[in-house]
Structure 1
Amino acid sequence: MSTNPGVRILVLDDEPFMLKLLARLLTNLGFTDVATCDNGHAALERVDDAVHMPQLILCDLNMPGMDGIEFVRKLVEHRYAGSLILVSGEDERTLQSARTLVQAHHIEVLGSLQKPVLPQALHQLVERWVPPARATTRAPGRGYVVERLAQAIRTGELVNYYQPKVSVATGEVMGVEALVRWIHPQDGMVFPDQFIGMAEAHGLIDTLTQVVLTTALRDNAAWERQGLKLKVAVNVSMGNLTALEFPEQTTSAAAAAGVAPQSIVLEVTESQLMMDLRAPLEILTRLRMRRFTLSIDDFGTGHSSLAQLRDVPFDQLKIDRSFVHGAHHNETLRAIFFASLRLAKELGMEVVAEGVEDADDWAFLQGTGCDLAQGYYIARPMPEDRVLKWVADWRLRWSAEQRGRPSV
């Protein structure tokens, strides 16, 4: 039975048989508030109804008049704040394109179903729906002025959270990625997508990165004193890679913390390297010569991936989460994942798979030759003071999973 029986669900399909079938399946699964519409205009009327507005819409893609793609665009115009499941008889690549489009419109898509719809597949997707978190009073990306961010940097309101990276083969915890958060006194936790762009645009990114780096090095040194030796990864911005003093600043910070350069990973998003490459190439080459590990982040999502691999001495390649999560059942994602993996291995690079969100993603990685994994299935980002406890818990979890595996 459903854990969210009262979620308001709308089924949109032009075929009366499919409407009745999906409604019956949902009812049988324990959902008690299910409505149906056979066209997009009627569905939009329900979206505009404050009392009956659906929290989840199952939307057919192939409909006469307003098809599912146009309907998604209309949802944006009508300020729809719920979630979506796509239903279609189209091939997987077309469904993937539709999912990407929905996400580009900033509408949560729980997944897609191919006709004929199987009850278990339907149940698994609908059960992913959770009530939206209580929103802050500030719209994303608005309400913060650069002076307030500068103050936050000065007064220590920026803190590091850490997401672990583990060996796919052995389960050993190999490192963590430092992810900055702004703990705002009124708004609570503010995520970096709301302030990193402002920092880059107003010349604060170098100061911000130094704060993140210094904190990460201090925390890493503390873990090592307690017997936990990890590599710590810090994201670097294009703004950092145009400041010629950045290698000296980074080297000095590592020396002051007593952390070896080999234990520091500098993660660079490849799309950030598409401008004038001269200064970034000088800076990255100097950092590599000083034995810092260089990682190309979000690989495959930019426009010059192969050129960057040719020109920049990266040690590590992170396959973007969009090519990892769901690759076990998606032929296109699987092909891109293995192409990226083979390329990195031929270049002698370590490979990290991002976006390992569930047990299926984790199982997929086994035996692929991928080195490290990172994602919610392993751990969500956590404060510094929870890392040691998490490592101990993970080791127990790993041992239990190994004991539970069938012998081969």
Structure 2
Amino acid sequence: MKILVVDDDGFALQLLDRQLANLGFSNVVSCNHAREALTRLESDAAYFGLVFCDLQMPEIDGVEFVRQLVRIGYRGGLALVSGEDERVLRTAERLARAHHLDVLGALHKPVTLSALQGLLSLRHASRCDAPESARHIYTPQQLRAALDGNQLINHYQPKVSLASGELVGVESLVRWQHPDDGLVEPEHFVGIAEKHGLIDDLTRVVLVTALRHGGAWHAGGLPLQVAVNISMENLGVLDFPDMVEREAAAAGMPLTHLVLEVTESCLMKDPLSPLDILTRLRLKRIGLSIDDFGTGHSSLAQLRDIPFTELKIDRSFVHGASRNSYLQVILEASLAMARQLGMKTVAEGMEERADWNLLRTCSCDVAQGYLVGKPMPAADLPAWLREWEGRRGELTSRPA
């Protein structure tokens, strides 16, 4: 992989070059002027697979450099490097992501070898996990055929107790088993379903499958809580709670072990119309989770108006929180508020041991993320559970 490093600080440039060489990356081009780097990229943007860019540079600063990367159509990876305040660095990172650049992360100066190695490992993982379907755009007709042809399947991501490590539940995540493209991730088709009136059918397929698996787990002595994502459009169908109750009864799944996750940004489109349905769901003892908490604009209003039982903290506040004092403040405040409201708390995006330790210290209830387990077919859950039982003791050995 060809790497481009852009930094006006000669010492920082040499240090990063040396560290990359120590990690086995010898094909590195260094530029101490942003204009020179842009000239190289403009001649062939596809030539470089990864760019390291300092934020504080004369003539063209890092933010403007990011804008120019978008202009020239750069599609490789981007890592931001800076000695600036942590919040400035993270804001610049979010800005680059908003431009749909492939941002690996941000590194604080002076860059350590371990931090660099961790970032580059993310690059490798993202390449290995990137689905072939990312290059495809699907039509509503293709999705309709997939629904009719039973091509949509559920994967399940484990959720475990931070205190004990015990498996307490799973989240259902839909996948499209495409006959030509393989396993297609939901970001490539859920938006199509919402836009073209297919979301009710999609949700029903996911829900019925999840209830069937949940009922089988209960019958087999594994009483897991099963979480299913629902769309704002589902909350406009008045008989939705009755449909859920019927399907759960048919599957032998207790309603008390079902959680419906609602993304708060969806609720904000019309905060009043879903109240009828959400209240009826709670009357049936179905749990309600406010998903991606903290990423919308009226989180507190939603907590005030809707009988949520669970607060799910978005991964953007969890991942790397052990290294970020600002994220820690947000986490602690969110967890304290949830406790006072009598809500269970779930931290998603748990990928690092240090973040696990932090959330345990903060008395968060449940963790979900790659540190625990990736989404998997229902048939793979028993094997994962045996593997997890072998390593959960290490994660829970210290007192919280």
Q: Scaled by the length of structure 2, what TM-score is found?
A: 0.94
**1:385 has 2:345 as partner:** no
In 2 relative to 1, CA 33–299 (structure 1 residues): closer, same or farther, beyond 3 Å?
A: same
Contact 2:131 2:184 in 1 (8 A): no
Contact 1:46 1:53 in 2 (8 A): no
Give, in angstroms, the shift of residue 401 of structure 1. 4.9
- Bigger share in helix: 2
Q: 1:309, 1:162 → 2: CA distance?
A: 27
Alignment of 1:315-334 (within 5 A): 315-334=309-328
Give the aligned partner of residue 244 of structure 2. Answer: 250
Give the aligned partner of residue 3 of structure 1. Answer: none
**1:346 has 2:340 as partner:** yes
Give the aligned partner of residue 132 of structure 1. Answer: 127
**1:91 has 2:49 as partner:** no
**1:114 has 2:108 as partner:** yes
Contact 2:165 2:395 in 1 (8 A): no
Give, in angstroms, the shift of residue 136 of structure 1. 3.2
Give the aligned partner of residue 392 of structure 2. Answer: 398
Give, in angstroms, the shift of residue 138 of structure 1. 6.2
In structure 1, list runs of 5 or more residues that go unmatched: 1-6
Give the aligned partner of residue 216 of structure 2. Answer: 222
Give, in angstroms, the shift of residue 155 of structure 1. 1.2
Which deviates further from its counterpart, 107-116 or 386-395? 107-116
Contact 2:203 2:230 in 1 (8 A): yes
Give the aligned partner of residue 26 of structure 2. Answer: 32
Give the aligned partner of residue 280 of structure 1. Answer: 274
Which deviates further from its counterpart, 348-357 or 124-133? 124-133
**Number of equivalent positions:** 398
Give the aligned partner of residue 167 of structure 1. Answer: 161
In 2 relative to 1, CA 26–275 (structure 1 residues): closer, same or farther, beyond 3 Å?
A: closer
The one of 144, 153, 157 equivalent to 1:150 is: 144
Give, in angstroms, the shift of residue 392 of structure 1. 1.9
Contact 1:46 1:52 in 2 (8 A): no
**1:301 has 2:310 as partner:** no
Give the aligned partner of residue 39 of structure 2. Answer: 45
The one of 163, 175, 179 equivalent to 1:181 is: 175
Contact 2:131 2:185 in 1 (8 A): no
Q: Secondary structure at the match of 1:132?
A: helix
In 2 relative to 1, CA 137–294 (structure 1 residues): closer, same or farther, beyond 3 Å?
A: closer
Contact 1:46 1:54 in 2 (8 A): no
Q: 2:135, 2:33 → 1: CA distance?
A: 32
Give the aligned partner of residue 49 of structure 2. Answer: 55
Letter in 1 for 2:149: T
| Partner deviation per Cα, 1:24-54 (whole Å, 9 max, x = no partner) | 3322443211110122232123334559822
Q: 2:25, 2:89 → 1: CA distance?
A: 25
Which deviates further from its counterpart, 192-201 or 317-326? 192-201
Which deviates further from its counterpart, 110-119 or 335-344? 110-119
Contact 2:261 2:289 in 1 (8 A): yes
In 2 relative to 1, CA 406–153 (structure 1 residues): closer, same or farther, beyond 3 Å?
A: closer
Contact 1:8 1:56 in 2 (8 A): yes
In 2 relative to 1, CA 105–380 (structure 1 residues): closer, same or farther, beyond 3 Å?
A: same
Give, in angstroms, the shift of residue 121 of structure 1. 3.0
Letter in 2 for 1:344: A
Which deviates further from its counterpart, 156-165 or 85-94? 85-94
Contact 2:133 2:184 in 1 (8 A): no
Which deviates further from its counterpart, 196-205 or 234-243? 196-205
In 2 relative to 1, CA 61–407 (structure 1 residues): closer, same or farther, beyond 3 Å?
A: closer
Give, in angstroms, the shift of residue 277 of structure 1. 2.9
The one of 255, 260, 263 equivalent to 2:257 is: 263
Contact 1:270 1:302 in 2 (8 A): yes
In 2 relative to 1, CA 111–22 (structure 1 residues): closer, same or farther, beyond 3 Å?
A: same
Q: Secondary structure at the match of 2:110?
A: coil
Give, in angstroms, the shift of residue 230 of structure 1. 0.2
Q: 1:172, 1:264 → 2: CA distance?
A: 18
Contact 2:271 2:302 in 1 (8 A): no
In 2 relative to 1, CA 407–137 (structure 1 residues): closer, same or farther, beyond 3 Å?
A: closer
Contact 2:153 2:177 in 1 (8 A): yes
Q: Secondary structure at the match of 2:156?
A: strand
Give the aligned partner of residue 123 of structure 1. Answer: 117
Give, in angstroms, the shift of residue 407 of structure 1. 8.6
| Partner deviation per Cα, 1:239-270 (whole Å, 9 max, x = no partner) | 00011111111111111111111010000001
Q: 2:210, 2:133 → 1: CA distance?
A: 31
| Partner deviation per Cα, 1:97-121 (whole Å, 9 max, x = no partner) | 0111122122232222222333333
Q: Scaled by the length of structure 1, what TM-score is found?
A: 0.92
